[in-house]
């Protein structure tokens, strides 16, 4: 041990090395926390890690490139179909944007280009807003299908904002919630404001974004994204405890198009199943959206009493029984 200490004492390179090691260890520690949060349902893990895109063979294709192309279309740098492919046409559009932003012109969509696009798009979306002083109780209604957030002062609509919501694979939680915490500059990918919701099965909230071009689309892992200058307005209007009702389609109307729901599932569809079991007298307590042992036992008892095969999962036969 003393030789190791002597090495770091006598060399600047050693001090730099131990600094790098310590920094890397801390980053890995936080990365572990981030991965744990992603596993348990953090809403926007894709905003925490920015990917660098460039033209190459074979070409890269992903949903985020579609979002970037859409942003470049709205700003007049890209023309044509948004394919989600980082091809030569996309590279040329990025170069044009880099020229306009006085950046290094290399056609690579890296962090500096990403930041510049985010800032320009945010500024492009700026609107004049008058200060609002609510007189009654403020509550929010978010329509996930319309991708709009409505602010009410008692029963009077006083403000509305465009938002981005969850994708079909990672939907926004439908239901009645409350804001349980507020924070400024909560995390790198969550814009300038964060308002967390009391959703039992994961971490969801209303927040800003470093991808303002995603507003008006289904793009998140379940959170509600807003433009930063607009989420700052909303932040001043709400408090911890503010009611938030999220409306939207939970599952297809046709039973045969729905996937079976069973133990281990979490989400809005489980809330509805639990409400149905409570209404039928098979489950006690409040729905929490987590399909655990109590929910499975209640469902099996219902299946047995109604003469269905006891599978412990909600399928085509059971949806109708639960009134869903």
Q: Cα separation of 206 and 163, whole Å?
A: 9
pTM, full prediction = 0.76
54-102 pLDDT per residue, tens? 999 899 898 889 889 988 998 899 998 999 999 999 999 999 999 999 9
Exposure string over 29-61, b if 16+ CB within 10 A, otherwise e: eeeeeeeebbeebbbbbbbbebeebebeeeebe
Q: Residue 246: which of 231, 227, 224, 267 has the closest Cα? A: 224
Give the CATH class of 138-247: mainly beta
pLDDT for residue 166: 92
Q: Nearest 5°: phi and psi at 148?
A: -135, 145
Contact 138, 155 (CB under 8 A): no
Nearest alpha carbon to residue 299 among 281, 317, 320, 277 = 277
Q: 188 with 30: CB under 8 angstroms?
A: no
Query: Looking up tokens 């930063």, which residue turns up?
Result: 228
Q: Are 295 and 273 in contact (CB under 8 A)?
A: yes
Q: Give percent of the chain with pLDDT exceeding 70.
A: 81
Q: Are 172 and 165 in contact (CB under 8 A)?
A: yes
In whole angstroms, give the CA distance from residue 29 to residue 228: 29
Q: Each residue of 3-57: pLDDT tens digit?
A: 333 333 334 444 434 343 333 333 333 333 333 233 334 556 555 556 899 999 8
CATH class of the domain whose range is 255-321: mainly alpha
| Tokens coding 150 | 């409505």
Give the C-alpha separation, 245 to 178, whole Å. 8
What residues are labeled active site?
Answer: 207, 223
User: How do the domains of the chain map onto residue ranges?
Assistant: 138-247, 255-321
What average pLDDT does range 297-317 have in this prediction? 94
Burial class (CB in 10 A: 0-12, 13-18, 19+), 9: exposed
What pLDDT score does 187 carry? Answer: 61
Please tell me whether residue 272 adopts helix, strand or coil conformation.
helix
Strand order in the sheet with 156-162: 156-162, 148-153, 138-143, 243-247, 175-184, 193-197, 205-207, 224-225
Any idea which residue has 């300038």 for tokens? 192
List the one residue out of 303, 265, 262, 266 whose CA is nearest residue 282.
303
Residue 42, pLDDT score:
52
Given CA atoms 105, 110, 115, 119 in this order, what sign does their dihedral have? positive
Q: Do the domains spanning 138-247 and 255-321 agree at the CATH topology level?
A: no
Is the model more confident about 291 or about 37?
A: 291
Q: What is the pLDDT of residue 300?
A: 96
Per-residue pLDDT band for 2 (boundaries 50, 70, 90) equals very low
Location of structure tokens 């319309």? 146
Which comes out higher in pLDDT, residue 296 or 130? 296
pLDDT above 60 (res 136): yes
């Amino acid at each position: 041990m003393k030789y190791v200490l002597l090495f770091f004492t006598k060399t600047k390179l050693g001090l730099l090395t131990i600094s790098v090691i310590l920094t890397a260890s801390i980053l890995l520690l936080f990365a572990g926390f981030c991965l744990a949060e992603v596993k348990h349902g953090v809403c926007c893990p894709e905003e925490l890690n920015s990917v660098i895109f460039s033209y190459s063979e074979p070409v890269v294709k992903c949903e985020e490139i579609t979002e970037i192309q859409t942003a470049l279309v709205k700003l007049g740098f890209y023309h044509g179909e948004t394919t989600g492919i980082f091809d030569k046409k996309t590279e040329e559009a990025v170069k044009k944007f880099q020229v306009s932003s006085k950046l290094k012109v290399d056609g690579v969509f890296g962090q500096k280009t990403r930041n510049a696009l985010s800032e320009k798009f945010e500024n492009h979306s700026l609107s004049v807003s008058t200060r609002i002083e609510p007189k009654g109780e403020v509550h929010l209604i978010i329509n996930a299908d319309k991708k709009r957030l409505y602010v009410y002062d008692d029963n009077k609509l006083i403000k509305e904002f465009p938002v981005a919501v969850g994708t079909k694979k990672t939907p926004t939680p439908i239901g009645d919630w409350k804001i349980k915490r507020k924070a400024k500059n909560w995390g790198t990918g969550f814009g300038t404001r964060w308002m967390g919701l009391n959703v039992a099965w994961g971490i969801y909230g209303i927040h800003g974004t470093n991808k303002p071009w995603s507003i008006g689309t289904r793009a998140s892992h379940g959170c509600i994204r807003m433009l930063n200058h607009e989420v700052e307005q909303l932040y001043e209007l709400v408090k911890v405890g503010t009611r938030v009702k999220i409306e939207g389609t939970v599952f297809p109307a046709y039973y045969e198009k729905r996937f079976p729901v069973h133990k281990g599932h979490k989400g809005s569809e489980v809330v509805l199943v639990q409400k149905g079991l409570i209404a039928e007298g098979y489950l006690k307590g409040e729905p929490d959206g987590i399909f655990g042992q109590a929910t499975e036992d209640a469902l099996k008892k219902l299946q047995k009493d109604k003469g269905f095969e006891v599978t412990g999962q909600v399928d085509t036969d059971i949806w109708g029984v639960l009134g869903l």
